[in-house]
């Protein structure tokens, strides 16, 4: 009896009996934080070139040339093109090279209806929720765009302009609104860059930004939303007006977008045109 009790007492519990198990390979793969892949780097570079018109609407994106230029293999390049196709910047074609998505009036109209609605809502919320630091940041960005405008630096102006729009949306402090805006941002940026190249729009855009900032500073939600929505819709109207009278495949607008980008390309110093005549 004593011997049996001793054996029972010495028997390890289940917790003590189980060996310490190492993490499985599958668990390690699921936990691993992914690094920025080659396809994401390629997509970022191509996105910038498309938005700024360095790759023109309708331009063919041959895999051999792009792979060589980017210094990557075709596999990550194809993933990059798929990502850009999901963003509406590239069109994939069966058994043919992908192309830069052309401007199309119907799509642009719908795009800017959506973006103007999102940014209007964001401005109304931001007017109520902005803090002192937010106003300071927005005023600093406004100073920058006016500086670049005065010096005729369109590309620098455009970059800061995009920061202002994104900042206002972030000041709304609504994650769903911000995510929805970001999903449309690349397509909207491309049209905005083209619109700024239209004579007189650049000056108009600066004045509208001043009105937006004043409304936000006054915490006038209705006015801030109204002015920002008008500002965004006006951009869509500029591009749509350029489309009027074009051929069914939008050739005229896309040719103009190509021409508008050409003067800013560093490799093409000849024939520099004035795009900021009203500045």
Helical residues (DSSP H) of 130-197, grouped into ranges: 132-150, 154-171, 175-196
Using DSSP's 3-state secondary structure scheme, residue 60 falls into: strand
- How far is Cα 140 from Cα 135, in angstroms, rounded to an integer? 8
Choose between 251 and 103: higher pLDDT: 103
The answer to whether 157 and 58 have CB atoms below 8 angstroms apart is no
Dihedrals φ, ψ of 56, to 5°? -75, 155
Which pLDDT score, from 0 to 100, does residue 219 have?
A: 97
Q: What is the pTM of this model?
A: 0.70
Residue 220 has pLDDT above 60, yes or no: yes
Q: How confident is the model at residue 94 (pLDDT cuts 50, 70, 90)?
A: confident
Residue 245 has pLDDT above 50, yes or no: no
Under CATH, which number does the domain 105-245 receive?
A: 1.20.120.530
| Arithmetic mean of pLDDT, 197-226 | 92
Residue 249 has pLDDT above 60, yes or no: no
* Segment among 47-61, 71-85, 173-187, 242-256 with least mean pLDDT: 242-256
Domain residue ranges of the chain, discontinuous segments joined by +: 39-100, 105-245
The answer to whether 158 and 276 have CB atoms below 8 angstroms apart is no
Fold of 39-100: Arc Repressor Mutant, subunit A (1.10.10)
Domains 39-100 and 105-245 equal at CATH topology level: no
Residue 261 has pLDDT above 50, yes or no: no
Tokens 């509406």 belong to residue: 88
| Arithmetic mean of pLDDT, 31-49 | 78
The contacts of residue 101 (CB under 8 Å, 6+ apart) are 57, 88, 89, 90, 91
219 to 38, 105, 168, 214: CA distances (angstroms): 44, 35, 13, 9
């Amino acid at each position: 009896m004593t011997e049996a009790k001793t054996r029972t007492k010495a028997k390890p519990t289940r917790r003590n009996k189980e060996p310490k198990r190492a993490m499985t390979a599958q668990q390690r793969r699921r936990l691993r934080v992914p690094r920025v892949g080659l396809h994401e780097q390629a997509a970022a570079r191509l996105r910038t070139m498309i938005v700024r018109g360095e790759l023109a609407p309708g331009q063919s994106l041959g895999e051999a040339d792009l792979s060589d230029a980017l210094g990557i293999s075709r596999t990550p390049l194809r993933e990059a093109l798929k990502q850009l196709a999901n963003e509406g910047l590239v069109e994939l074609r069966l058994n043919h090279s992908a192309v830069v998505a052309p401007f199309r009036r119907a799509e642009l109209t719908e795009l800017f209806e959506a973006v103007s609605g999102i940014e209007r809502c964001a401005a109304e919320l931001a007017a109520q929720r902005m803090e002192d630091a937010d106003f300071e940041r927005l005023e600093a960005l406004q100073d920058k765009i006016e500086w670049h405008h005065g010096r005729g630096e369109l590309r620098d102006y455009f970059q800061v302009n995009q920061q202002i729009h994104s900042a206002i949306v972030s000041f709304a402090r609504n994650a769903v609104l911000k995510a929805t805006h970001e999903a449309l941002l690349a397509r909207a940026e491309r049209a905005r860059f083209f619109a700024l190249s239209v004579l007189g729009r650049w000056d108009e855009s600066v004045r509208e930004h001043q009105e937006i900032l004043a409304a936000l500073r006054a915490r006038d939600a209705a006015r801030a939303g109204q002015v920002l929505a008008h500002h965004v819709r006006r951009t869509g109207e500029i591009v749509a007006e350029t489309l009027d009278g074009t051929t069914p495949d939008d050739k005229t607008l896309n040719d103009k977008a190509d021409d508008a980008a050409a003067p800013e390309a560093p490799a093409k110093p000849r024939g520099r045109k004035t795009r900021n005549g009203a500045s």
